[in-house]
Amino acid sequence: METSMNYHGKSGRLTELFLGDLAAERFSPEEYLPSEQKLAEHYQASRNTIRRIIGNLLDDGTLTRCDNHRVRINPEKYHELKAARAVPRQITLAFAYAAYPDAMISDVLAGLKRYTAEHDLRLQQLTSPTGHEPMLRALAHARSLGIDGVLVLPYFMEEYVNVINRLADSGVAVATLSELPGTHCSSICSDDYNGALAAVNLLITRYNRPVHLFGPRDESSSTLDRYNAYCRAMTEAGFDREIKTHTSEIEAYGKDPESWTFEDKQERTAELAEAFLKKLKPPASIFCINDYMAQGIYRAAKRLRLEIGRDLTVTGFDDLPMARRLTPPLTSVRSPQGEVGYQAAALLHRLVAGELNIPVHLRVPMEVIERASC
């Protein structure tokens, strides 16, 4: 029996699951298989998908159709099937990202490693710190690289949508690290919306004044979630008219990973923050879209002789290691990226195993870590 056969299309993972069930005698080799309708109900799939799988297995001889048109396991192939499935192929997951590795990437990767080690899975990385194209080329060939499931750090770019959808259609399990409009795959990320809502409400409640937002809001769905939560908190507090005047319009990094080095993030955000602060009248409250933006506020405040915690009350987002080392320590929303990575691997594992047949979107709770900056 040909043991290296790949079944392409959306039915690929379900075919692998079905073959495993045949080898495990979930369906007796001495009896006919259940009807297409019952198999569809059992595997939570359409009858057309089940019919396509059975047709493929009839063609390769794994199944045989009897004179009464009922289908059963081919007795001549059964022992080969059982032997071929006795030692299952090790599942391979991958993490694909075009970015300079930072604390967030490192934490997600640590969570992925922890899950794959616990469940005897292989883990690969498809990365590029210098541009999107090299990573996207590798991602497009994930199936031929032996990858069963992949977690993708997405960007609002048509190239990502196209590659991800083609990959999902080829039978590879795909999940994105935050939702990407236009794709039909699962996603997982921290609950940015409620985390941001809590941080902005903290500033409003404590100081009874509108809050400024500093940072870009067009780089990812997580950034948009933070912006939308800011707008909701301001509106519910009666500051809806101040949203436009209290919101920055900046492009912090751009879409080119070459501009995302730590040094560039520091200097670029400090320059933007200085221009931003010159327009404010202290005392003022500032919600920063991430900790790099908050660090820029700190640097600019020092140049302008403004005191964090007195003239400016500041919150960041992501709770990067630097947050607790800034002077004064930065209040930030802790993003449990290690847990996100762990649950992402678990999600991919279930998708590869055929336990999920529809896209799911998971959110991991966050918490505000209060420090002296506000």
Give the pLDDT confidence score for residue 84 in this predicted structure: 67
CA distances from 306 to 81, 272, 292, 309 (A): 73, 16, 18, 9
Give the pLDDT confidence score for residue 8 in this predicted structure: 40
Give the pLDDT confidence score for residue 6 in this predicted structure: 37
Low-confidence ranges of the chain (pLDDT < 70): 1-13, 44, 84-88, 218-219, 251-265
Name the residue with tokens 């500093």: 214
Name the residue with tokens 């003239």: 311
CA distances from 202 to 171, 207, 217, 306, 331 (A): 45, 9, 21, 21, 10
Give the pLDDT confidence score for residue 253 in this predicted structure: 57
Mapping DSSP to helix (H, G, I), strand (E, B) and coil, where does residue 17 land? Answer: helix
Nearest alpha-carbon partner for 269 in 284, 291, 243, 241? 291
CA distances from 60 to 55, 64, 78, 148, 351 (A): 9, 10, 13, 22, 25
Residue 153 token pair = 């750090």
Q: Could you tell me which residues are beta bridge partners of residue 364?
A: 190
Residue 236 token pair = 């519910």
Rounded distance, CA 116 to CA 100, Å? Answer: 23
Helix (H) or strand (E) holding 344: helix 337-352
Q: Say how many Å lie between the first and final Cα of the chain, rounded.
A: 68
Rounded distance, CA 226 to CA 234, Å? Answer: 12
Give the pLDDT confidence score for residue 22 in this predicted structure: 83
Give the pLDDT confidence score for residue 120 in this predicted structure: 94
The DSSP result for 132-147, as a single string, is HHHHHHHHHTTTTTT-
Rounded distance, CA 248 to CA 213, Å? Answer: 6
Give the pLDDT confidence score for residue 170 in this predicted structure: 82
Give the pLDDT confidence score for residue 3 in this predicted structure: 29
Nearest alpha-carbon partner for 127 in 110, 104, 152? 152
Query: With the C-alpha atoms ordered 184, 185, 186, 187, is the resulting torsion angle positive or negative?
Result: negative
Give the pLDDT confidence score for residue 263 in this predicted structure: 64
Q: What is the DSSP letter of 82?
A: H
Distance between alpha carbon 24 and the CA centroid of its chain, in Å?
34
Question: Which strands form 331-334's sheet, in the order they lie side by side?
Answer: 211-214, 284-288, 312-318, 331-334, 367-369
- Answer whether 155's CB lies under 8 Å from 218's CB: no
Give the pLDDT confidence score for residue 309 in this predicted structure: 97
Helix (H) or strand (E) holding 167: helix 158-169
Give the pLDDT confidence score for residue 28 in this predicted structure: 82
Rounded distance, CA 183 to CA 77, Å? Answer: 39
For the chain, the residue count is: 374
Q: Regarding beta strands 173-176 and 63-65, do their DSSP bridges make them parallel or antiparallel, or are they unpaired?
A: unpaired
Rounded distance, CA 97 to CA 101, Å? Answer: 9
Which residue ranges form the domains of the chain, and what is each CATH number?
12-86 (1.10.10.10), 92-189+338-362 (3.40.50.2300), 192-336 (3.40.50.2300)
Between helix 291-303 and helix 262-277 the angle, nearest 10°, is: 60
